Each structure stands twice: as C-alpha cells, then as structure tokens.
C-alpha cells in the first residue's frame, strides 16, 4: 500500500540513463574504484579487496576504499571503539539502490522570533533529541567534521484513537547543521505507520539527505524494527557529503557520496542526534507513535579531532511540541553519550 503512493513518474526518471555528456562528466570525476549509482552525481565505492582490514589500514586507504574517518584512539577511546565495532561488522558492502522523495527532514523549527538556544534546554515543533553548537559562522577548521551514533530502529504504530486512513511518520537520524542554519547533512531511517479500520501497515527504510533536498531512500539496505544501526555522516568539503550506514544484524554496510544542493554550503555549526516529525505533503507530518528509541555512542568531531557528545558543554536537549504546544517527544540523557528518546504515545495534532 505504501509503495503505491510513490510516484511512478519519479521512478521512471530515476531509472532513466544519463545523457552522454553527463555520463562523461561523471566518469571523469570517478576514482578507479568509485561507482555510479542510479542517481546522477551520487556515487559509492566498490567493496575493498579480499583480506583488506580497515582496523589497521592507513587513513588514506580508509578514504580510498570508502570507510568513514577513524576517531583518535587516544583522545576519544569510546568513539574509536564504536568505529572499530562498526568497521568489524562491515562484512558485506551493498551497492546503493536509491529513490528520491519529496519528504523533508529539515532544520529545527522554532517559535517565530525565537533565537536558537545554545547550552540550555529548547523546544521545537519538529525535532527532539540533543544538539551541540560550536558558534562557527563559516565553514572551516573548527566546523564539525563528522557525527556518529548507534541506535535501534523503533517499532512504530498509529495511535488507535486516530486511525484515520493516513500515514504517520517518524525519522531517526544524526546530522550536521540545521540549528540556526538553513541546511542539514544527515542520514538515518524513516519509520511510518498507517491505520484505517482494521487495516494496519508499517514502512521502514534507511535514507540520507542534504536539505533542502528531500531524503533519498536506500532500498538495497533493508532494515526492520529492532535492527541495530551505526550511522555516520561527514563532509570532506563544504559541498561534498558522505553517509556510511551499518546494519549490525545483517553485517551489511553502504557508503554514499553526494553533493550539496545548488547554492548550499555546509557551515558545521551544529551536530545533532534527533527523532523528527518530517515535512510531508507541504506540512509537518503527524509523528508516528515510535514508543522509544535508544541512541548510544553518540559523538561528533571537528577537523581538529576534538570530540563532543550529548553530555558535553554546548549540548542541550530539545523537546518536540505538537501544534498546540504540548510535548510529544523528548530526550533523556543516559550518561554523556547515550540518549533515551520517548514519545507521548498519542497523536494530538
């Protein structure tokens, strides 16, 4: 039922081959082991040769073979341990099969005239989670470089009191920018719920996004509720983004390289770990009843390899409010680098 709602026109456009000129331009930019995907300008990296071990590889080889940056083992041993666990689990590299959407996990929406908070509790009509801000105003060496977390794909449903024949949405992600800036570089998953009478359905998909583009589903990396995901996004320039996801339950991983939307540049002034009710159909969706969601090993790094987490100075919790100003999703810190996300369990929009 969910798939029937997707645009056939969009599917045909995504499947259409590139023009000769576009193909030549893309081919000139590809590394020897870089592969085009079914979306123009989006690439992946071929699986490394047999016997390649990312745990003892050089930084240059890690980048060449499509692995995410390695945290500093001495400066941030917990972040390094999380990276090491994810790289060990990356046994089967998946070639991305991608589907663009018109759904948006966008910047935090604050009350009109409200300035972005820094270091104190805040509220938003679309975000709940933790945010760390660094005061950066322009992309540079002190900008956030990458952000990571492990989290469990939640089970979603639509509130029984609602059950009105529509879809509800919840997206879980890690990202850079979006708190006081107009872009967000992010990756995670959606978890959607439908209910009409006795008919109930759910839909789950991994995705990446660079807002103001909508999110792009990664249909070749299947996920189900209860799967443990490692997600990392990073930028190598202000317009070059990367997403790396690992499903610990299947030992599958995917690497995606993509560019910023035209006219958009990364600032690197905020890092976040978020559950969101996204923009769908021109307005904010009703938040799916996701019950709870657990983040662990939540870290962010700048280019100087200085690490922060939800417990660091400059981090603050964000509570999601419904259209009437009631809290519907909120975070609880569990130590410095773990978050317990919970919703109110009812649709009050």
Mean pLDDT across the chain: 89
pLDDT at 75: 82
What's the pLDDT score for residue 180? 87
CA 125 to centroid of chain Cα atoms: 19
Residue 54 lies in a domain: no
Handedness of CA 318, 324, 326, 327 (dihedral sign): negative
Cα(130)–Cα(317) distance, integer angstroms: 5
User: Does some domain include residue 142?
Assistant: yes
CATH number of the domain that residue 315 is part of:
2.60.120.700
In-domain check, residue 33: no
Q: Give the residue, 323 or 84, on which the prediction is more confident.
A: 84
Cα(184)–Cα(188) distance, rounded to whole angstroms?
12
The pLDDT value given to residue 3: 45
pLDDT-derived band at 78 (thresholds 50, 70, 90) equals confident
Mean pLDDT, rounded, for 153-163? 87
Q: Which residue has the tokens 């969101």?
A: 276
Task: Evaluate whether residue 40 is within a structural domain.
Answer: no
Are 200 and 194 within 8 A, CB to CB? yes
Among the ranges given (52-56, 71-75, 134-138, 268-272), the one the predictor scored with the smallest mean pLDDT: 71-75
End-to-end CA distance of the chain: 24
Tally the C-alpha atoms within 13 A of residue 154's C-alpha that lie toward its C-beta: 27
Q: Provide the pLDDT for residue 10.
A: 35
Q: Is residue 142 scored above 50 in pLDDT?
A: yes
Its domain, for residue 287, covers 98-343
Does residue 184 fall inside a structural domain?
yes
- Per residue in 185-221, pLDDT (tens digit) is 999 999 999 999 999 999 999 999 999 999 999 999 9
Mean pLDDT of 114-138: 87
In a domain, 313, yes or no: yes
Residue 214 in any domain: the answer is yes
Give CA separation, 161 vs 126, 158, 247, 288, in Å.
22, 8, 33, 13
Distance CA(210)–CA(84), nearest Å, equals 26
Structure tokens at 63: 């980048």
* Contact of 177 with 266, CB cutoff 8 Å: yes
The phi and psi torsions of 175 (rounded to 5 degrees) equal -165, 175
Q: How many domains does the chain have?
A: 1
Q: Is residue 164 situated within a structural domain?
A: yes
- Average pLDDT rounded to a whole number, residues 150-168: 91
Average pLDDT value for residue range 74-102: 95
Nearby residues of 13 by Cβ (< 8 Å), 6 or more positions away:
none
Q: What residues have CB less than 8 Å from 53, skipping those under 6 apart?
A: none
**Tens-place pLDDT, residues 22-32:** 443 444 468 89
pLDDT band at 328 (very low <50, low <70, confident <90, very high): very high
Report the pLDDT averaged over residues 327-346: 89
- CA 267 – CA 197 distance, rounded (Å): 46
pTM score: 0.90
212 CB-contact burial (10 Å; exposed 0-12 / middle 13-18 / buried 19+):
middle
User: Is residue 11 over pLDDT 50?
Assistant: no
């Amino acid at each position: 039922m969910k798939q029937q709602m997707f645009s056939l026109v969009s599917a045909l456009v995504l499947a259409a081959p590139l023009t000769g000129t576009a193909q030549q331009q893309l081919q000139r930019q590809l590394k020897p082991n870089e592969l085009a995907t079914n979306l123009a300008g989006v690439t992946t990296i071929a699986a490394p040769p047999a016997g390649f071990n990312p745990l003892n590889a050089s930084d240059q080889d890690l980048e060449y073979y499509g692995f995410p940056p390695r945290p500093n083992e001495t400066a941030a041993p917990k972040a390094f341990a999380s990276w090491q666990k994810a790289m060990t689990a990356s046994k089967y590299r998946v070639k991305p099969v991608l589907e663009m959407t018109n759904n948006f996990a966008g910047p935090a929406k604050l009350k009109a005239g409200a300035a972005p908070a820094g270091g104190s509790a805040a509220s938003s009509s679309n975000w709940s989670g933790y945010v760390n801000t660094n005061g950066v105003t322009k992309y540079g060496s002190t900008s956030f470089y990458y952000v990571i977390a492990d989290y469990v794909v939640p089970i979603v449903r639509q509130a029984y009191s609602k059950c009105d024949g529509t879809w509800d949405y919840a997206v879980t992600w890690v990202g850079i920018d979006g708190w006081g800036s107009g872009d967000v570089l992010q990756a995670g998953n959606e978890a959607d719920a439908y209910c009409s009478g006795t008919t109930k359905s759910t839909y789950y998909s991994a995705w990446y996004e660079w807002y103001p583009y909508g999110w792009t589903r990664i249909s070749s990396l299947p996920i189900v509720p209860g799967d443990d995901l490692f997600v990392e996004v990073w930028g190598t320039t202000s317009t070059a983004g990367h997403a790396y996801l690992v499903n610990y339950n299947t030992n599958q991983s995917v690497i995606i390289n993509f560019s910023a939307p035209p006219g958009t540049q990364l600032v690197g002034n905020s890092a976040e770990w978020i559950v969101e009710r996204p923009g769908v159909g021109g307005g904010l969706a009703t938040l799916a009843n996701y019950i709870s969601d657990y983040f662990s090993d939540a870290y962010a790094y700048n280019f100087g390899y200085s690490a922060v987490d939800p417990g660091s100075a400059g981090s603050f919790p964000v509570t999601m409010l419904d259209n009437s100003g009631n809290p519907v999703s909120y975070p609880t810190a569990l130590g410095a680098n773990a978050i317990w996300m919970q919703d109110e369990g009812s649709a009050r929009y």
